[in-house]
Amino acid sequence: MKLSVLDLIPVRSDQDTSQALQATIGLAKRADELGFHRYWVAEHHNMPSVASTNPAVVIGILAANTQRIRVGSGGVMLPNHAPLVVAEQFALLEASAPGRIDLGLGRAPGSDPVISAVLRQSGNVSDVDRFPNNVQDIVSLLGEEGATVRLTSGDEYELRGTPKAGSIPDVWLLGSSDYSAALAAALGLPYVFAHHFSGQGTARALELYRTTFEASPRLDAPRTFLTANVVVADTKEEAEALALPNLQQMARLRAGKKLGPIATVEEAAADELSSLELELLDQMRSAWIIGDAESAARQLTQLAERFQVDEVMVSPVSSAYAGTDPSSAPARIRSLELLAEQFKTA
C-alpha cells in the first residue's frame, strides 16, 4: 500500500508563520527520505491555526527542497481562482519539477463568505456553478494543444497555460460528497475522497465514482484513494496526548467557537471543553487513527481494504510539547517514521 501525506501547515501557539513553514519543509524532506509517494498541501484562508493559504507557492518551496516525492495541492479551491491562472501556475511548477506535480481541485471555497467576497474583489474568478466547465478548461489549458476561445468577431484565439509543455501535472478532483465523485467519473479524472474531513459517505462516493467512470485520454480506468487523520507515537498514551490539541480545535470549529492556534500538549491537557465540544471530540476520535505503530498500521490496512484502495494519504495531526523547537514538528515526523517502518516504504 502506498502512503502519502496531506499537510495544512498547522501553526502552534509557540510558532509564527515562518517557523510553521520551516517545520513543514522539514516534514516534507523526511517524507521524501522515507519513501512516501506524494505530499499535498491544502488551501484555507484567515485561520489562525493554518498557514497553507496558497498551495502553488508552497508547492514550489517544497519541490525545491525535495528530490523524489510528488508534490501537489489538496487542493486548489477553484471558486477562488481563474482557471487560466491555475493552469499557468501548475504548468510552471511542472516545468520546475517534471513528473512530480499533482493538481488537486476542490469545489469548496476553503473559507467563510466574507473571505470569499474579499478574494473576489480583484475581479471575476471561478464561479461555483461553472466548476465542471472550469475543470475542463484547466485540463485543456495544461495540454500541449491548449484551448481555443471564439471571439465575438468569429475569430478563434488560442490559449495555453505555458508556451511548450514538456510534461503535464496529474489533475485530480477532490471531494467529500457525491458531486465531485460523479463529475470525476464523467470527465475521466482520478478522484480523492476527503475521508479525514468527516468519515461519512466514503463508500457511497467511491462506488459512484467506480461504477459510472468513463475512460478519457488522461485515464483509462478509475483511480482513487482516500485521506485519514493519524497520530502515531511509541505508545498509545503518548499518541492520545499528542492528538488532543487538534481534536479540541476541530471540536471548537464544529461547535462554532472562535479558534486560535493549535495548543501545545500541556495547554490542551489543562483546557476545559463544554459538554457539546466533548461530545464532538469523542465522535471525531473514533474516526481518527490514534495509537502505536502496530495498531495504526493495522487500522490503515483495514481502512484501505474496506474501501478497496491501494493508497492512503495521512494527515499527521500531532501537536508538540512545550519547549519544542518552534521551527520543527518532531511528533509529526515520528508519526511518518513509525508508519514507514511498518509499511517499509523506503
Where are the domains positioned within the chain? 2-343
Q: Dmax over Cα atoms in the chain, in whole Å?
A: 69
165-209 pLDDT, tens digit each: 999 999 999 998 899 999 999 999 999 998 887 677 899 999 999
**Residue at 61: amino acid letter:** I
Banded model confidence at residue 346, pLDDT cuts 50, 70, 90: low
Between the alpha carbon of residue 68 and those of residues 62, 89, 181, the distances in Å are: 11, 20, 29
145 pLDDT tier (thresholds 50, 70, 90) = confident
Q: Where are the alpha helices (DSSP H) in the chain?
A: 17-34, 55-64, 83-96, 113-119, 131-142, 178-187, 202-212, 236-254, 265-270, 275-285, 293-307, 330-343
State yes or no: pLDDT of 220 exceeds 70. Answer: yes
Provide the CB-side half-sphere exposure for 157 (13 A, CA): 6
| Grid cell digits, residue 235 | 505508545
pLDDT score recorded for residue 197: 74
pLDDT score of 130: 80
Q: Which three cell numbers stand for residue 234?
A: 511509541
Q: In this structure, what DSSP letter does residue 152 have?
A: T
User: CA 229 to CA 55: how far, in whole Å?
Assistant: 20
Specify the DSSP class assigned to residue 122.
G
Burial 62-77 (b: 16+ CB within 10 A, else e): bbeebeebbbbbbbbb
Q: Are 281 and 248 in contact (CB under 8 A)?
A: yes
Superfamily of 2-343 according to CATH = Luciferase-like domain (3.20.20.30)
Phi-psi region of 324 (alpha: psi -120 to 50; beta: other; left: phi over 0): beta
* Residue 141, number of CB atoms within 10 A of its CB: 22
- 194-202 long-range Cβ contacts below 8 angstroms, 24+ apart: 194/226, 194/227, 195/226, 195/227, 195/228, 195/303, 195/307, 196/6, 196/227, 196/228, 196/229, 196/315, 197/227, 198/287, 199/287, 201/176, 201/177, 202/226, 202/307
DSSP SS3 for 133: helix
For 146, phi then psi, to 5°, come to 70, -155
The owner of cell 466574507 is 114
| pLDDT 10s digits, 235-288 | 999 999 999 999 999 999 989 998 999 999 999 999 989 999 999 999 989 899
* pLDDT-derived band at 143, boundaries 50, 70, 90: confident
What is the predicted pLDDT for the residue at 125? 56
32-90 tens-digit pLDDT: 999 999 999 999 998 999 999 999 999 999 999 999 999 999 999 998 888 999 999 99
pTM over the 0.85 mark: yes
Prior bond of 75 cis (ω within 30°): yes
